[in-house]
Amino acid sequence: MILTENINVLQASLIVEECFRNGIDTFFLSPGARCSPLTLAVARHPDVRAVLHFDERGLGFAALGYARATGRPGVVITTSGSAVSNLHPAVTEAFMDAQPMLLLTADRPPELRETGSNQTIDQVNHFGAQTVWHQDVPCPTTQISPAVILTTIDLALHHARGGPVHLNCMFREPLGPQPDRTDSEAHLLPVHAWHRGRQPYTTYREPALDLDELTAVELEDLLASPSSVVVVVGGGLTESEALAVLQLAAKRKWPVISDVCSGLHFGPHRGGVIRHIDALISPEGFPEDLHPEIVLQFGPRFLSKTLLQALAATPLTAWIHVSDRQGRFDPLHRLTHRFRLQIDRFCMKIERNGAQAADPEWRQRWLDRDREIDRIYSENLDKSDRITEPGVLRAVSRWMPNLHGLFLGASMPVRDMNRFAARNPHQIHVAANRGASGIDGTIASAAGFARGLNRPVTLAIGDLTALHDLNSLALLAAQRVPVILVILNNRGGGIFHFLPMADASPEFETYWGTPHKWSFEHAAAQFNLPYAKAKTMGEFSDTYRDALDSGVSCIIEVETDRRQNLLDHQALAKELPLSQNLR
């Protein structure tokens, strides 16, 4: 649908229509005057939806969460000036984690730049190296063929598959739908066939990233050796990729070390998955009978610092890394083979070559040890009624229903879920902002994640993360798909108590502990969200299951103590066969 009141809304309508023809049906908008043509194009398009939020910073993160759920770009529309700058944190996260995003920022015309004109800043390449492509889109005029606009959008969306793209769209007044003298029929004549059809103007096809036969044979020779192989699965895999990895590992009798963000911690047919890696090893290395010789890693990165340290201390025959993303992904500078390939294609090629399986006792030793760890956690967490942060995360992992979404705060919650999660036979969609690992925009990201999944989501975060994004509670209140927000309130920065400075510095409590006295009951009331506070694990489990059944967004607050949380983690570590210093 093309609007034709004037040249501004006509060009904006071309942009929105071409996005729609490329499979984009959800746009994220903040109010503003300069972006009015784009806003009108979205508002009047019969087949697209708008997510509205008054805060551009949260809006960018909502688009990011949507992209994590769908694999499609979240398209963000803002007005000019500092509104654009507020997108920068979300752009940084999207760039670092190669998440699709398209930014349509409205701008003043060139004659107003550097003149002192109100709300005019330099928006050209505003995000610098943190976009994969950018373009300054000129003011609408009949002197520019509409084909230029259409091909620009098609190329932008092609680039946006690998990260954020910025189109800076200049508009002169009038910004509203006031008619002008544009002959829209004549202007659209060069794209007449496109106008009558329903397909994008230019269709891009990605090359199939596959493993050539010679390399496959060489790699198979390496993997077929009697060496002990472990598979490490990081975050960001699709369900089909994860299943391909599991199928390959099951056939070859390789243990699979799962990152919680891979989704493999949960779900059916996860018999070969190791979920408690941090409890099985130490930063100094692996137990002798679990010592790997070859690491086969899938996905860009993994969460566990203990695993990274153990691998750094372990001599390896080979470290093979497979991901379809560009980038180095080698913080230890230890990779011996790096394949930029589609993971499922890689697995099928290796599996098809049909080498014999490894010694089944190798994987069984891993599995037996992992089950013993889970039994210890169950004895110490599942049967205790005392509120602890590991206990809350473990309870969430146990009670989530099938196809539920789980979004984890990038501080302690994602680490605790990675370490303590219980077995859950259901398929769970898991995400976290681990590109830049910041705490900002997490509530907004979870809102976008729920909208993209079109499924309820549990968001587990700390109190500082919640305070950092408090106005994004408006997104939870406004949307139909519920988010259950579990806030672990330890009155400050609990993760810093795990650092050496916690005991060494007298300034620690003020400058790192960041103490406060706030709770979240009144914030819930401000945004008309149901609220509950749990004081025991029994209360939390009952409250959480009631929230799952309610079908509405809500806040569950759990109060803990930062210092006691460190002691709880240390006490659990002492129960393990391989005790380790958590500091």
DSSP per residue over 563-579, as a string? HHHHHHHHHHHHTSSS-
CATH of the domain at 159: 3.40.50.970
Sign of the alpha-carbon torsion through 431, 437, 442, 445: negative
Q: What integer pLDDT is reported at residue 578 of this predicted model? A: 67
Q: What integer pLDDT is reported at residue 224 of this predicted model? A: 79
Q: What integer pLDDT is reported at residue 357 of this predicted model? A: 74
Cα–Cα dist 555/470, whole Å:
12
Q: What pairs with residue 534 in β-bridges?
A: 558
Task: Express each pLDDT in 293-313 by its tens digit.
Answer: 999 999 988 999 999 999 999
169 and 104 within one domain: yes
62 lies in some domain: yes
Q: What integer pLDDT is reported at residue 353 of this predicted model? A: 65
375 lies in some domain: no
Buried b (16+ CB within 10 A) or exposed e, 67-102: bbbbebbbbbbbbbbebbbbbbbbbbbbbbbbbbbb
CB 257 within 8 A of CB 272: no
128 and 32 within one domain: yes
582 lies in some domain: no
User: Which residue range forms the structural domain that includes residue 308?
Assistant: 213-367
Last residue of a domain, one of 320, 336, 367: 367
Q: What integer pLDDT is reported at residue 1 of this predicted model? A: 76
Task: Express each pLDDT in 93-130 by its tens digit.
Answer: 999 999 999 999 999 999 888 888 888 889 999 999 99
What pTM did the predictor assign? 0.95
415 and 363 within one domain: no
CB atoms within 10 A of CB 577: 11
Give every CB contact of residue 160 below 8 A, 6+ residues apart in sequence.
73, 100, 101, 102, 132, 133
Number of domains in the chain: 3
Show the tokens assigned to 173: 């007044």
> CA 450 from chain center: how many Å?
12
351 and 443 within one domain: no
91 lies in some domain: yes
168 and 24 within one domain: yes
CB atoms within 10 A of CB 262: 25
161 and 16 within one domain: yes
236 and 183 within one domain: no
Show the tokens assigned to 277: 């890696």
Q: What integer pLDDT is reported at residue 580 of this predicted model? A: 43
Instruction: Flag residues of the chain having pLDDT under 70.
Output: 226, 269-270, 353-356, 578-583
Q: What is the SS3 assignment for 169-200?
A: EECCCCCCCCCCCCCHHHHCHHHHHHHHCCCC
420 lies in some domain: yes
142 and 11 within one domain: yes
183 and 229 within one domain: no
Nearest to 165 by CA among 232, 94, 69: 94
CB 223 within 8 A of CB 350: yes
246 and 185 within one domain: no
273 and 142 within one domain: no
390 and 337 within one domain: no
88 lies in some domain: yes
402 lies in some domain: yes
Last residue of a domain, one of 137, 167, 196: 196
204 lies in some domain: no
Last residue of a domain, one of 166, 196, 226: 196
3-class SS at 116? coil
CATH of the domain at 235: 3.40.50.1220
Cα–Cα dist 290/113, whole Å:
63
Show the tokens assigned to 57: 């910073």
Q: What integer pLDDT is reported at residue 583 of this predicted model? A: 32
